[in-house]
Structure 1
Amino acid sequence: MTTTDPFAGGTRRVAVVTGGSRGIGRAVSRRLADDGLAVVVNYVGDDAAAAETVGAITASGGQAVAVRADVADETAVAALFDRAETEYGGVDVVVNCAARLALSPIAELDLDVLDRLHRTNIRGAFVVAQQAARRLRAGGALVGFSTSVVGTQFPGYGAYVASKGAVEAITLILARELRGRDVTVNAVAPGPTATELFLDGKTEEQVEALAKAPPLERLGSPEDIADVVAFLAGPRGRWVNGQVLRANGGLV
């Protein structure tokens, strides 16, 4: 049987990165561009951040375009993938970084906040996974995002962890549903990572304590996580499928 190697020369591979304009998403967008992929940088509201991310990629010789879409809106997400196909000819990598974070004891959480968080983190993850399952080309990869707090079970993270547990639950199922397509499905579960989303609302003492928790005694950087995503999306990660990779410096 003869097959075509999707990683061998020729057509540029294409990535869609949701939440790709800031934080880990920006680092992922830039890393994939450095690896030679054309990147569709999805964002929901910050035009300036999206333009800055695209500008950084193109200034370094890469290809990128910014596309606004709410990941929980199936019509908008379908249009996002349409744009990727129109602009660059197809989709090879999908990285779903878009997420909300709300910290509160379960007994005190405003249920409207819960609904908004789960709309983005669960419905959004499902909508993006649907489009990825329908459109990824052979040799493709879907990388979702969970959190290492699914394991550490820190108080105050109940709503967020519930939403990320859903991401972990569908990862292996979708990998199995895509049998025969030569498409991998994995999730990355970062530990404490120095992003605006993580640092917001925390005291210096809290941040210092979290930085000391892993054996490596530091916070992760967005680039640390982007390196893991690049591995899963590239040729060296093809035998990893249906897995949740905890990128957290040894935090348990």
Structure 2
Amino acid sequence: MDRSELQRLFSACDVNKSGKIEYEDFKAVCRELNVPTTEVKSLFKEFDVDEVGYVDFGDFSARFNELSETLDFTELGEVAQNQRSAWDEFEDTMDGEITVLGSIRDQLAEVYQQIHSTSDFALLCQFEALIKVLVNKSKDQLIDNQRLETSFRRLEKMTARQLAELEDEFTEIEDRERQKMEATLDEMQKSHNSEVAELRATLERLRRYQEESQHESSRMDMHKLKSQLRQKTQENEQLKSSLLSAQVNLSVLRGAGSAEE
């Protein structure tokens, strides 16, 4: 099927003329084609491959051949052909580009039909030229928007990547700081343990020194007592010797006195 036929079928399915086939549009078309209600949602999902909630002309044309085996679009095409207006014919000449006009499309179609009904073909040509200008500007704006969206997504990805890198860097810094802190704490603990061990050793040395001092003092006192005892013993011996000598002398003197008598 050529593009113009596809465009006519797409327009017939676009019930609210929004430039895209929404789910409610699709349900209305399926009712007209006598499609069981239980199959409507699954068929719509086959058209809406990117799951955005609507079917644009690209999705419709890409999936048409496959889904036409399930949906009989022939009847719909005949109805659309019988209901075609001057505006529909003009849309065909635009190869589906009218859809870029969005919400103003219905207003333009109404004005177009009114001008066409007056048979003022000069004015109609001017209006068609105006519509083409609007279409071109809308396409340019759409392209700009797509570029902006692409740039935004690229910037968003770059920002996300930079944030991830910053988070990784921050995590590395945290790890390094934690390792430094742990190393510092380990060093402080070792220093504390060393100081405690040194203090205990010092206390042990003081205890031993005190014990040795007490023992030495006791030994010196004993030595002093022994020396004093020896001295007293010697003094006693001297006293005994002197006393004995005095007794001898007294005895001698007494003996001499008795002889003289």
More strand by share: 1
More helix by share: 2
**TM-score, with structure 1 as normaliser:** 0.20
**TM-score, with structure 2 as normaliser:** 0.19
Larger radius of gyration, structure 1 or 2? Answer: 2
